[in-house]
Amino acid sequence: MSLVTTKDTHLDNIIASYMDETSVELSAFELKMKERIKTAFSLLLNWRSREQAANVMMEQFEVSQATAYRDISRALIIYGDINKAGKEGHRYIIMEYNHKLLQLATKEKNLEQMGRALDRYMKLADLDKEENRVNLEKLAAMDITVNISKSSEKAIAGMLQGGVVDLNNFEAEDTEFEEVKDAEE
């Protein structure tokens, strides 16, 4: 069976252009497609449904409904589906909208709305929570007692006379143990 290779698709070239603009030269058709894809994603970011985005695309770029929906699908392939974004992705989008609300409130000189927007921002950025402090008591020096057999003690003492204790090259066997919990836990 032989391997058949084909030319890169327009979408492959556009994706490659995002990775490294100098790696591929886009054709005029691909440049137009890239612009439509950017617009499609921008419409989705502005909380337009796919149907609404397709209608805007059909009107703005004079493309068919099928092409508009293909461009929307390509945008989701390149940029990702914002509806499936993780918690951090949603947080970022909400923070951007909150920033827009802050700008509007500032423009209208509405101090109450400005304060609310800043409070929401602090909450979204977790600035209202106390940072986890390190418990220095747990890092304090502690005595650890290890019981070893006489033969192991002799082997370690012999290694110490040589200057190096190599525990990776040491005949040892695993033994059963029980983890002891602190009273605080």
pLDDT tens, position by position, for the chain (185 residues)?
Answer: 445 555 678 888 888 888 888 878 899 999 999 999 999 999 988 878 899 999 999 999 999 999 999 999 998 888 876 666 667 767 777 888 889 999 999 999 999 999 999 998 888 888 877 776 777 777 777 777 877 777 778 877 888 887 777 777 666 667 777 888 776 55
Tens of pLDDT along 9-30?
888 888 888 888 887 889 999 9
pTM flag (> 0.85): no
DSSP collapsed to 3 states, the chain: CCCCCCCCCHHHHHHHHHHCCCCCCCCHHHHHHHHHHHHHHHHHHCCCCHHHHHHHHHHHHCCCHHHHHHHHHHHHHHHCCHHHCCHHHHHHHHHHHHHHHHHHHHHCCCHHHHHHHHHHHHHHCCCCCCCCCCCHHHHCCCCCCCCCCHHHHHHHHHHHHHCCCCHHHCCCCCCCCCCCCCCCC
